[in-house]
């Protein structure tokens, strides 16, 4: 059996949903699908999920979401009309949802309604059975998937029919709706694939696979035919936004392959993601944007072993979750998403760290990017050195180089404004 997930762009309009039907009609093995909320129809459009988060923000400020929700209503009704579906029951659903959002059901419930309505409409259009993810997918407090989900999903899809699941959400242990992080429908797809022991998990999107680099910047970047789970996860984490980096986890021990496919060009083979290939090869180069750093120093800072832990606790208290850290004998630098902390919060945190740890030096830097090369057995080749020399030779100063923490990636700290040039230089050095 094939499980197929269709992302936001694949279900953004009635025309796109018709393409989904053609794809499903062309292979009867595709028995279960997972759908996202309608995404952007063009680059100036808005994603339904973003609009829903706006509705929730208005309600949190004590305002009504009526006019923002009206735009969502209009979009779903237009899709239903173009697919010749029943508008009456959809309108009732929409009214009820708006009522619940205005009543303050919160961010997770509100955001989840995009996927709910999308699956509701698509199941009607296809004549397939709708399975509400809130009854099937259990999400732990830390956002990971509770393994009890697998049995539940297996039972709910054992009737021999064809099923439509809304992606992105499930419920916590007490049955309250909870979402994964953004882009989380990919995770739902993995969870469902594992539950039914699928032969293949197809992930349909608007590009023909994962690229060797960002095709918006590197014009001759190529679709990668085959990637390992680890390579795909690293590339996703480094900014290749095609497949959620957490979606690999449910698949690892059951070894189900993933095929990234293009709904707008369904004959393309796409990228196949498999457990391992045994090959030594360079897969891609990517950049993670919008990072900041904080560096702290003091003579003998780590004399007490508990200091590292205490420093981290302070960071967490201020909402900062470092994605990279580099320790020196008397210093440490953490890199984190700039969105984690405003300037005001960072200032307050620096003051606190200075006084609490009697620091000599605290420095915050914004506008950092991290460039990473990804491939299998990178340590056995000189590619990571070639990339570093090429950057230095072109006057791109590295704030750090992270080698050895992972077998499949080497990362370099650079300035945000130099990231496109750096990508071009490294791509040219290693791939052309
Ligand atoms: N609709 C959600 C988002 O925009 C989840 C998804 O599409 O996977 O993040």
Give me the phi and psi of 244, to 5 degrees please. -60, 130
Atom index in ligand 1 nearest the CA of residue 168 equals 5
Please give the distance, rounded to the nearest whole angstrom, from the Cα atom of residue 112 to the centre of ligand 1.
9
Model pTM?
Answer: 0.91
Mean pLDDT of 312-324: 93
Q: Candidates 36, 122, 246: which one to mutate for ligand 1, based on the most atoms within 8 Å of Cβ?
A: 36
pLDDT band at 18 (very low <50, low <70, confident <90, very high): very high
Which residues have C-beta atoms less than 6 Å from ligand 1? 7-8, 36-37, 47, 49, 114, 167-168, 182-185
Atom in ligand 1 nearest the alpha carbon of residue 47: 4
Specify the pLDDT at position 192. Answer: 98
Does pLDDT of 187 surpass 90? yes
- Ligand 1 center to 180 CA (angstroms): 9
**C-beta atoms surrounding 385 within 10 Å:** 12
Outline where DSSP puts E strands in 230-281: 258-262, 271-274
The answer to whether residue 230 scores a pLDDT higher than 90 is: yes
List, in order, residues 6 or more apart from 133 with CB less than 8 Å away. Answer: 115, 165, 166, 167, 168, 169, 170, 188
Rounded to whole angstroms, how far apart are CA atoms 189 and 47? Answer: 20
pLDDT at 241 over 90: no
Over the stretch 294-311, which tens digit does the pLDDT of each residue have?
999 999 999 988 999 999
Alpha-carbon distance of 294 to 333, in angstroms, equals 6
- Using the mean position of ligand 1's atoms as its centre, give its distance from the Cα of residue 114 in Å: 9
What separation in Å is there between the alpha carbon of 118 and the centre of ligand 1?
A: 11
Query: What pairing do the DSSP bridges indicate for beta strands 200-205 and 258-262?
Result: parallel
pLDDT value of residue 377:
83
**What's the pLDDT tens digit per position in 170-179?**
999 999 999 9
Atom of ligand 1 nearest to the CA of 182: 9
Averaged over 312-326, what is the pLDDT? 93
Q: Which residue ranges form the domains of the chain, and what is each CATH number? A: 2-275 (3.40.1160.10), 283-431 (3.30.2130.10)
Look up residue 361 and give its DSSP letter.
Answer: E
Length of the chain: 432
Nearest to 7 by CA among 30, 34, 32, 36: 36
C-alpha of residue 306 to centroid of ligand 1, in Å: 40
pLDDT, tens digit (0-9, with 9 covering 90-100), for 354-409: 999 999 999 999 999 999 999 988 888 899 999 999 999 999 999 999 987 888 99
């Amino acid at each position: 059996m094939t499980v197929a997930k269709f992302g936001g762009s694949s279900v953004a309009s009635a025309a796109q949903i018709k393409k989904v039907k053609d794809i499903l009609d062309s292979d009867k093995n595709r028995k279960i699908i997972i759908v996202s909320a309608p995404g952007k129809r063009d680059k100036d459009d808005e994603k339904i999920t973003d609009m829903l988060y706006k509705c929730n923000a208005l309600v949190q400020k004590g305002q009504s979401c009526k006019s923002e929700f009206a735009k969502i209503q209009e979009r779903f009704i237009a899709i239903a009309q173009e697919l010749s579906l029943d508008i009456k029951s959809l309108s009732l659903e929409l009214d009820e949802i708006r009522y619940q959002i205005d009543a303050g059901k919160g961010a997770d419930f509100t955001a989840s309604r995009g996927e709910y309505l999308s699956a509701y409409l698509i199941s009607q259009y296809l004549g397939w059975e709708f399975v509400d993810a809130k009854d099937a997918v259990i999400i732990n407090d830390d956002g990971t998937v509770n393994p009890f989900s697998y049995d539940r999903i297996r039972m709910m899809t054992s009737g021999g029919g064809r099923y439509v699941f809304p992606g992105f959400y499930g419920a916590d242990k007490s049955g309250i709706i909870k979402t994964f992080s953004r882009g989380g429908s990919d995770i739902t797809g993995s969870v469902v694939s594992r539950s039914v022991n699928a032969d293949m998990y197809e992930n349909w999107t608007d590009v023909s696979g994962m690229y060797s680099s960002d095709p918006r910047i590197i014009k001759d970047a190529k679709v990668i035919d085959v990637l390992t789970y680890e390579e795909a996860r690293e590339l996703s984490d480094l900014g290749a936004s095609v497949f959620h980096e957490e979606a690999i986890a449910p698949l690892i021990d059951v070894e189900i392959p993933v095929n990234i496919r293009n709904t707008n060009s369904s004959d393309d083979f796409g990228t196949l993601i498999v457990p391992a290939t045994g090959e030594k090869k360079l897969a891609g180069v990517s950049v993670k944007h919008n990072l900041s750093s904080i560096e702290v120093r003091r003579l003998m800072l780590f004399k007490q072993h508990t200091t590292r832990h205490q420093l981290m606790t302070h960071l967490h208290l201020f909402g900062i979750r470092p994605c990279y850290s580099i320790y020196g004998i008397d210093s440490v630098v953490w890199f984190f998403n700039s969105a984690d902390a405003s300037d005001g919060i960072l200032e307050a945190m620096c003051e606190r760290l200075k006084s609490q740890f009697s620091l000599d030096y605290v420095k915050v830097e914004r506008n950092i990017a991290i460039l990473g090369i990804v491939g299998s057995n990178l340590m056995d080749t000189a590619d990571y050195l070639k990339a570093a020399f090429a950057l230095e030779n072109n006057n791109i100063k590295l704030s750090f180089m992270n080698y050895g923490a992972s077998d499949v990636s080497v990362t370099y700290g650079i300035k945000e404004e130099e990231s496109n040039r750096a990508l071009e230089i490294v791509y040219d050095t290693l791939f052309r």
